[in-house]
Chains A and B, each alone.
Chain A
């Protein structure tokens, strides 16, 4: 069984540009989470999808971040326009309904210059 995959693994963009991160959860997992770690900080929750619906987006930092999960499969996280403080590692995790453990992807390292 394939694990959670994320694309790209690294992205370097300039301030003001747009970047889209993609997460493919484990097949059949209804729950999908986005987290991020910015430099020197703890891993922070961003939002939670149940299928295609946003269950909790309390961690989204501002309206420059847009997450989607069309069809309840893969998810994208768009940052537009990117700012320097958005640099960090963005993790995606998934879990099946009723399960306890979250399976994390390898992360996307975003660098905004």
Chain B
């Protein structure tokens, strides 16, 4: 699986958009970009995934650059409950893909 690079920590004000970057310059053509988060000591939670097009769901938006070497997860209106560790993961996708977690980005949302 391709390696990803994320900033170790970020801050965001409540109600503002949180933009979390991720570099995955060695991503291959059949690999998807996934985002998961872990709130406190709970199990990781799936957020969103994409291959090359931008994606949006009820939780977040995923913007993938045209060369697919980087992406940005956007939480449009961050709340205190969004404080968590966010993981950007590259995987071959579907049910065959084991997830390779890195250190992630600790996002702290401030009042």
Interface residues on A, range: 20 to 34
Is A59 part of the contact surface with B, judged by Cβ < 8 Å? yes
Among B41, B93, B95, B98, the most chain A Cβ lie within 10 Å of the Cβ of B95
Q: Which residue of B lies closest to A91 (CB)?
A: B43
Candidates A45, A50, A89, A96; contact of B99 at CB < 8 Å:
A45
Q: Known: A93-B43, A104-B45, A107-B41. Is A30-B98 also a contact (CB below 8 A)?
A: no
Cβ of B94 and Cβ of A44 under 8 Å apart? no
Q: Contact between A107 and B43 (Cβ–Cβ < 8 Å)?
A: yes
How many Å lie between the Cα of A45 and that of B98 in the bound state? 7
Are B93 and A102 neighbours in the complex by a CB distance under 8 Å? no
Flag A74-105 by CB within 8 Å of B: 1 or 0 each. Answer: 00000000000000010101011111111111
User: Are B93 and A100 in contact, with the CB atoms below 8 A?
Assistant: yes
Q: Indicate if B103 sits at the interface (CB-CB under 8 A).
A: yes
Contact of A91 with B44 in the complex, beta carbons under 8 Å? yes
Q: For B41, what are the chain A residues with a Cβ–Cβ distance below 8 Å?
A: 89, 107
Q: Determine whether B30 belongs to the interface, using a CB cutoff of 8 Å to chain A.
A: no
Interface centre among B32, B43, B45, B99, by most chain A C-beta atoms within 10 angstroms, is B43
Q: How large is the interface on B (under 10, 10 to 19, 20 to 34, 35 or more residues)?
A: 10 to 19
Decide: A103 and B100 in contact? CB cutoff 8 A.
no
**Neighbouring B residues of A30 by C-beta, 8 Å:** 95
B49 A55 Cβ-Cβ under 8 A: no
Which single residue of chain A is at the shortest CB-CB distance from B102?
A: A42
Given contacts A100-B49, A100-B93, contact A48 B98 (CB under 8 A): yes
Q: How far in angstroms is the closest Cβ of chain A from B44?
A: 5
Would you give the shortest CB distance from B55 to chain A, in whole angstroms? 11
Nearest residue in A to B38 (C-beta to C-beta)? A43
Residues of A whose CB lies within 8 Å of any CB of B are 4, 30-31, 33, 35, 42-45, 48, 50, 55-56, 59, 89, 91, 93, 95-107
Closest 7 CB pairs of A and B: A104-B43, A101-B46, A43-B101, A31-B95, A45-B98, A104-B44, A42-B101
